[in-house]
């Protein structure tokens, strides 16, 4: 899938990646993860885009992550992310140019996590199937999206079943074009 095939209501630009709704949804994820597991050794962020989640984790102080691995298929997104993170003194992030469906999660350990806020845009499910059992997983999706359709948090749970559910919720948000609901689940695979 090429970037031209994707549609993001906030716009596929660095500026579009920082719209209030997208920032708020990532802060929501950080807040809930911090309550569940305040220290994570290694976090894979699938479909990392411009590395916004890594930036927000490092600036928030609520969640301690030793190493963040931003995974994306677009080299320009990763290059921009690297420059931005370096400029802000963020040193715990590694960029990985790879299709998430081909990950083997070699750097993951028992205190690690996998985050995917791009369920609506990510084809396939090998990325999920390859996550080792016992791993903390956080997933976000939205309705009102031209990609894969999700109706609620339970829809995510059915498509990506976890052995233990630790959080399930939704937020009503508005991007520059439309109102929508964002859903999130966090649990153990």
* Dihedral sign computed on CA atoms, order 145, 139, 99, 43: positive
Which pLDDT does position 144 carry in this prediction? 82
Mean pLDDT by runs of 10 across the 189 residues of the chain is: 37 71 95 98 96 95 96 96 95 97 95 96 94 98 85 96 98 89 97
Which pLDDT does position 103 carry in this prediction? 96
d(CA 104, CA 84): 27
The DSSP symbol for 132 reads: P
Which pLDDT does position 8 carry in this prediction? 41
Q: Which residues pair with 2 in a beta bridge?
A: none
d(CA 70, CA 128): 16
- Total residues belonging to the chain: 189
Report how far Cα 78 is from the mean position of its chain's Cα atoms: 14
Query: Helix axis angle, 52-60 relative to 75-87, nearest 10°?
Result: 20
Beta-sheet pairing, 39-46 with 113-116: parallel
Sheet with 64-72, side-by-side order of all strands: 93-97, 64-72, 39-46, 113-116, 136-142, 179-188, 164-174
Which pLDDT does position 43 carry in this prediction? 98
Domains of the chain: 3-188 (3.40.50.150)
Which pLDDT does position 19 carry in this prediction? 83
Which pLDDT does position 16 carry in this prediction? 63
d(CA 156, CA 61): 28
């Amino acid at each position: 899938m090429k970037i031209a095939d994707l549609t993001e209501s906030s716009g596929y630009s660095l500026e579009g990646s920082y719209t209030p709704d997208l920032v708020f949804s990532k802060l929501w994820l950080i807040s809930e993860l911090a309550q569940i597991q305040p220290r994570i050794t290694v976090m894979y962020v699938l479909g990392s885009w411009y590395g916004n989640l890594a930036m927000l984790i490092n600036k928030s102080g609520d969640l301690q992550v030793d190493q963040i691995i931003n995974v994306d298929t677009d080299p320009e997104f990763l290059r921009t992310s690297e420059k931005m993170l370096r400029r802000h003194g963020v040193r715990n992030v590694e960029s990985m140019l790879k299709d998430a469906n081909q990950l083997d999660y070699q750097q993951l350990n028992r205190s690690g996590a996998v985050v995917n806020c791009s369920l609506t845009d990510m084809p396939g499910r090998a990325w999920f199937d390859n996550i080792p059992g016992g791993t903390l997983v956080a997933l976000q999706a939205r309705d009102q999206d031209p990609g894969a359709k999700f109706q609620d948090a339970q829809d995510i749970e059915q498509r990506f079943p976890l052995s233990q559910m630790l959080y399930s919720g939704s937020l009503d948000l508005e991007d520059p074009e439309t109102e929508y609901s964002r859903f999130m689940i966090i649990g153990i695979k």
